[in-house]
Structure 1
Amino acid sequence: MEIRKITTITEEILTEGGKEVDPVINIAVVAAVIKNPWHGQGFVEDLNPGIDEVASDVGAVLAPRVVELLGGKLEAYGKAAIVGLDGEIEHGSALIHTLKFGNHFRDAANATTLLPAVEKRGTAGIVFDIPLKHFTDATIRSHHQTFECRVADAPHADEILIALAGSSGGRPQERLAALSTEQ
């Protein structure tokens, strides 16, 4: 795995709707910009060798950093793969939609749910939203949210930007009724 750079984004939400957020909600994103392992090979039928070579390693790099940035308090999480223009969206999907990648985050966060994801292809500096959901119960509405990201110089055409995001809580000032009230 060739990592060109790792970018970290953090945010503290102190007020929402003109009202103090208590406790403060922290959000952290850690993104690795890596060389696309299938770049320059034309259409690759079997992506498994590249998955085996990269997915676990990139998950092992990103997951503990997100948990550390949140001080171990993670309640919602998500992932992203943004593929440079010379790659296929499937290249990003192949790396993040495998337990070899995702289990690093689930284990680091003591989580049980599947990570929501975004995958897309784009130019350097593309804006993307990482969806977040509760880490143990995907039906908890208060934790369904997105976090907007951008890495100014990534991905290059031959790269993939892989990111993990976590939040210390749900949406600030959430007021929706529980899903069970509609069932």
Structure 2
Amino acid sequence: MELQVRKWLTAVEQIAHDGGPRVDPPLRKAAVVAVIRNPYAGRWSEDLADLVDPSGDLAAELVARCREAIGAEVESCGKGAIVGVAGEQEHGVACLTTPFGDALRDGIGGTTWVTSNTKVAAAGTAIDIPLAYKQALFVREFYDTVTVSVPDGPRPDEIAVIVAMAGRGRVHNRLGGLAKADAKGDGLR
């Protein structure tokens, strides 16, 4: 099955400072949303393969669009989904599972588990997509979020599937923890 995309949305944020000195390069964060038809809306199904199986191809397109929006090397990423009210949270999770995560990691040279957030909500509801460093989850300077909403989606029978990325860690990071330079790149540390 091929996922039916009704619309794409891209949001980009660039932060030069957050109350302290200007940073160079600025923090650039982006999110890309694909609003897709939910083939399981309004009905129960034990098998969610119609969302899982094609999710890798969807992730590859979301990654390509998000990388283009970042316009620099991607350092952190996250994923998420908002399921329209005729669906279930599990439908959003099905869109983001292994094929999606593998394609996301492959598309940015990542090795770590990809952070995510899912929920069921009405059109226009915002969701925070958590970000983490692409090589090691415990690198604290990359803990961040991208807030996304789609004004007219998801409709009750849709799912908004989201990839978010950043080109560097938080502006003015100064709370310690594992530094990027000290990360082993083993997915955790």
Is the CA contact (8 Å cut-off) linking 2:60 and 2:107 kept in structure 1? no
CA displacement at 1:19 relative to structure 2: 2.1
How much does 1:101 deviate?
A: 0.9
Q: How many residues align?
A: 177
Indicate if the aligned counterparts of 2:30 and 2:146 stay in contact, CA closer than 8 A.
no
Distance 1:21 1:117 in 2: 28
Map of 2:88 onto structure 1? 88
TM score, norm. by length of structure 2: 0.89
In the alignment, is the contact (CA less than 8 A) between 2:74 and 2:165 conserved in 1? yes
In the alignment, structure 1 residue 32 sits paired with structure 2 residue 31? no
- Other-structure match for 1:139: 138
Q: So what's the TM-score if we normalise by structure 1?
A: 0.92
The structure 1 segments of at least 4 consecutive aligned residues displaced by more than 2 Å after TM superposition are: none
Alignment of 1:16-55 (within 5 A): 16-40=18-42, 42-52=43-53, 54-55=54-55
Tell me how far apart the structure 1 counterparts of residues 74 and 60 of structure 2 sit (CA, whole Å). 17
Q: Find the aligned partners of 1:121 and 1:4 in 2 and give their Cα distance.
A: 18
Aligned Cα RMSD in Å?
A: 1.4
Give the AA of the match of 2:79: K
Give 1:57 shift.
2.4
Unaligned runs of 5+ in 2: 180-189
State the SS of the aligned residue for 1:21.
coil
Output the CA distance in 2 between the equivalents of 1:142 and 1:49: 37
Determine which structure has the larger strand proportion and give its number: 1
1:5 matched to 2:7? yes
SS of equivalent residue, structure 2 residue 24? strand
Q: Which residue type is aligned with residue 150 of structure 2?
A: V
